[in-house]
Amino acid sequence: MTFHYFFVLVFLFSTTTGEPTADRNALLAFISQIPHSPRIRWSASTSTCDWVGVTCDANRTAVVSLRLPGAGLIGPIPASTLGSLSSLRVLSLRSNRLTGPVPQDLSNLAELHALYLQNNLFSGGFPPEVPRLTRLTRLDLSGNNFSGEIPFAINNLTRLTGLFLERNQFSGSLPSISNLGLNSFNVSYNSLNGSIPASLQKFPASSFAGNLQLCGGPLAPCVPFFPSPVPSPFPSPGPPSGKSSKKLSTKAIIGIAVAAGVVALLALILLLFCCWSARKRGRSAKGVPKPAATAAAAGRSGDMGATSSSKDDIVAAAAGEREKNRLVFVGSGGGYSFDLEDLLRASAEVLGKGSVGTSYKAVLEDGTTVVVKRLKDVGVPKRDFELSIESLGKVEHANLLPIRAYYFSKDEKLLVFDYIAAGSLSSNLHGSRGSGRTPLDWDHRMRIAFAAGRGLAYLHGVARVVHGNIKASNVLLRPDPDATALSDYGLAPLFGPGATPASRAAVGYRAPEVVETRRATFKSDVFSFGVLLLELLTGKAPNQASISGEEGIDLPRWVQSVVREEWTAEVFDVELMRYANIEEEMVQMLQIAMACVALVPDARPDMAEVVRMMEDVASNRGAASEGDEGLRASSDDPTKPASVGRSTSTP
């Protein structure tokens, strides 16, 4: 309707001097396409610079500010209008009823210092063009219907002093904003979650209020991700055991846990920043955030006025930092796609304090559940660590729990594994007997033994890796017992020569020679596997007295003594006694176990042999049942278990 009229105007004023012609056209196009209050009468007969809400520069050659607050503007900002005001320094459209996303061409406003869009009905994600307006000092998007995450790219706005995003629908976590000049900040009444980054903790609680899931800083403390485990009064390693912690009062435990958690959190905050910046940098293919931002993120804040050469240095350093603080997936990676930041934001629960460190069950925000093992006392340099884990990552076998990823920094070494819900053999075999627990029946135990044996044989034969830490708590059960998996293998080399595997291998499973040589070998693994078999047969836990304070026994010796004095079925787990016709198999398995725990390493079979022997036992299953013949036959010379075991293996 008014189109024709505007063309005339455009023509008229294009010949006028001292008039910002291009800007005038843009403004007319804008106002013609949007309903507005009659108060805004931009008359053709007056100079653009005298229009309501418009300010020009001193030469009257360009519009430098446009302020139309409460001007009854309704609907979306027409595209290709305001974006042409190339000299605009201030744009205020607050308190209207503007809708839709902010038009992309606003990114052309390279001179813009202040953008006030508050109290409208804008929606959509955080306007992606805003981070390109690098001269902005004030940005107010409050009181709209913006949603999605607040982008890390906001760090591009290095001159920002005021950022107002309150009363929107922003979600996700707050990016770390490392802008030292920022003195007004408000993100209250959104749907943000996660912890408040350290750089923003200087702002008052009212800047963050109304976000139900935001925590830390001026708000209530977050639950730390990797809560430090309750220190055990016993120094030695062992399977997860609630027993030791029961000796501390609940209050003391909470106190210690909270204090330790706070320390851990502080240490991790820095880490968090580094990867945050690293990740976002990695994601934006072209956009490189302002060096000062990354520098600050890397813990070198305060260098805002860096020269270009020192900026390069900082960028390089930050890139190195990113490289360093990466979560590295190994092998097939298990199809996971998350990064350290996701891991740190995960909710975590202590699974157990083991000999190599503490294990956590971490539930990521997308529901992915993994086990994070926080290694302690790693004694090798980064390169060696990486090589070890990379090669362990290549080991793939259904009965071995693969390492999925690792993280190495000066203060923190993490390994990531699949989470297996059914728990360990240790907890299934020994956990609260009798109280509603379904005992593992013989068939299950056999299949678990097989699976573990196959995994170990593969580890020894194909991968040429010494497990070094076989124990029931490292035997992880799946609903299908054939899929039972061994975990924690091959980690001994990570702890350097100072802390040898011997001091880490669980006491009751340790081969006698390892106590002296302090070196785990294939044969010492076989010994440990033998103890594991005895454990399955007897239902008794091997000697763990030094850690759990519990009465423990030297399983191999105990079994030998019982067997020597009088060959009875007494050694077997009472829970197995209810099943009929299994004695023969149990005896054969006992013989294999006894072969494995021979005192002299050379007398022990190797794992391939052990698996063969077990397969023989299984293949005879259901076949000729000779009653208690087996018991008697094998009772000849129980003190020489190795030979007994061998004889069973020969067909």
Ligand X SMILES: *[C@@H]1O[C@H](CO)[C@@H](O)[C@H](O)[C@H]1NC(C)=O
Stretch that binds ligand X, among 57-65, 257-265, 334-342, 404-412 (CB under 6 A): 57-65
Burial class (CB in 10 A: 0-12, 13-18, 19+), 128: middle
Stretch that binds ligand X, among 186-194, 309-317, 545-553, 613-621 (CB under 6 A): 186-194
**Whether 195 contacts 264, CB under 8 Å:** no
Stretch that binds ligand X, among 181-189, 308-316, 490-498, 539-547 (CB under 6 A): 181-189
Give whichever of 59 and 249 is closer to ligand X, judged by the CB atom.
59
Site for ligand X contains 156 (CB under 6 A): yes
SS3 sequence of 436-460: CCCCCCHHHHHHHHHHHHHHHHHHH
Site for ligand X contains 365 (CB under 6 A): yes
**Whether 183 contacts 304, CB under 8 Å:** no
Stretch that binds ligand X, among 204-212, 504-512, 546-554, 622-630 (CB under 6 A): 204-212
* Among residues 57, 418, 441, 616, the one that binds ligand X under rule CB under 6 A: 57
Give whichever of 109 and 511 is closer to ligand X, judged by the CB atom.
109
* Among residues 47, 104, 161, 193, the one that binds ligand X under rule CB under 6 A: 193
Give, as ranges, the residues between 232 and 291 that touch ligand X (CB under 6 A). Answer: 284, 287
Q: CA distances (Å), 602 to each of 452, 524, 605, 637, in order?
A: 22, 10, 8, 19
Stretch that binds ligand X, among 187-195, 234-242, 607-615, 619-627 (CB under 6 A): 187-195
Give, as ranges, the residues between 126 and 155 that touch ligand X (CB under 6 A). Answer: 131-132, 134, 145, 147, 153
Burial class (CB in 10 A: 0-12, 13-18, 19+), 563: buried
Joined together, the tokens standing for residue 140 give 């107010």
Site for ligand X contains 190 (CB under 6 A): no
Site for ligand X contains 166 (CB under 6 A): yes
Strand partners of residue 145: 123
Stretch that binds ligand X, among 202-210, 335-343, 444-452, 635-643 (CB under 6 A): 202-210
In the 8-state DSSP scheme, what is residue 400? B
Site for ligand X contains 46 (CB under 6 A): no
Give whichever of 44 and 223 is closer to ligand X, judged by the CB atom.
223
Q: How far is the CB of 180 from ligand X (least distance, A)?
A: 18
* Among residues 14, 213, 332, 517, the one that binds ligand X under rule CB under 6 A: 213
Joined together, the tokens standing for residue 204 give 């008052």
SS3 sequence of 475-541: EECCCCHHHCEECCCCCHHHHCCCCCHHHHCCHHHCCHHHHHHCCCCHHHHHHHHHHHHHHHHHCCC
Give whichever of 268 and 587 is closer to ligand X, judged by the CB atom.
268
Site for ligand X contains 111 (CB under 6 A): no
Distance CA 77, CA 101 (A): 8
Residue carrying the six token digits 């090589």: 387
Site for ligand X contains 158 (CB under 6 A): no
How many residues of this chain interact with ligand X, rule: CB under 6 A?
A: 27
Cα torsion through 540, 545, 550, 552, rounded to 10: 30
User: Which has the closest alpha carbon to 521: 600, 460, 594?
Assistant: 460
Stretch that binds ligand X, among 165-173, 296-304, 392-400, 479-487 (CB under 6 A): 165-173
Give whichever of 121 and 545 is closer to ligand X, judged by the CB atom.
121
Closest residue to ligand X, based on beta-carbon distance: 287
Which stretches does DSSP call E strand in 36-89?
Answer: 54-56, 63-67, 74-76
Q: How far is the CB of 282 from ligand X (least distance, A)?
A: 13
Q: CA distances (Å), 572 to each of 342, 536, 601, 623, in order?
A: 47, 9, 25, 22
Q: Residue 260 contacts by C-beta under 8 Å, 6 or more apart in sequence?
A: 227, 228, 231
* Among residues 80, 123, 161, 503, the one that binds ligand X under rule CB under 6 A: 123
In the 8-state DSSP scheme, what is residue 78? P
Distance CA 57, CA 46 (A): 17
Joined together, the tokens standing for residue 580 give 């009929």
* Among residues 37, 206, 310, 561, the one that binds ligand X under rule CB under 6 A: 206
Q: How far is the CB of 209 from ligand X (least distance, A)?
A: 7
Give whichever of 211 and 648 is closer to ligand X, judged by the CB atom.
211
* Among residues 59, 307, 432, 650, the one that binds ligand X under rule CB under 6 A: 59
Site for ligand X contains 625 (CB under 6 A): no
Give, as ranges, the residues between 281 and 300 that touch ligand X (CB under 6 A). Answer: 284, 287
Query: What type of residue sits at position 282?
Result: G
116: enclosing H helix or E strand: strand 114-116
Distance CA 81, CA 412 (A): 53
Stretch that binds ligand X, among 166-174, 329-337, 448-456, 629-637 (CB under 6 A): 166-174
Distance CA 50, CA 559 (A): 102
* Among residues 1, 58, 580, 623, the one that binds ligand X under rule CB under 6 A: 58
Give whichever of 145 and 639 is closer to ligand X, judged by the CB atom.
145
624-641 in b/e form (b: 16+ CB < 10 A) is eeeeeebbeebeeebeeb
Stretch that binds ligand X, among 10-18, 52-60, 400-408, 536-544 (CB under 6 A): 52-60
* Among residues 35, 70, 100, 204, the one that binds ligand X under rule CB under 6 A: 204
Give whichever of 136 and 571 is closer to ligand X, judged by the CB atom.
136
Residues that bind ligand X in the complex, under the rule CB under 6 A: 57-59, 121, 123, 131-132, 134, 145, 147, 153, 156, 166-167, 171-172, 186, 188-189, 193, 204, 206-207, 213, 284, 287, 365
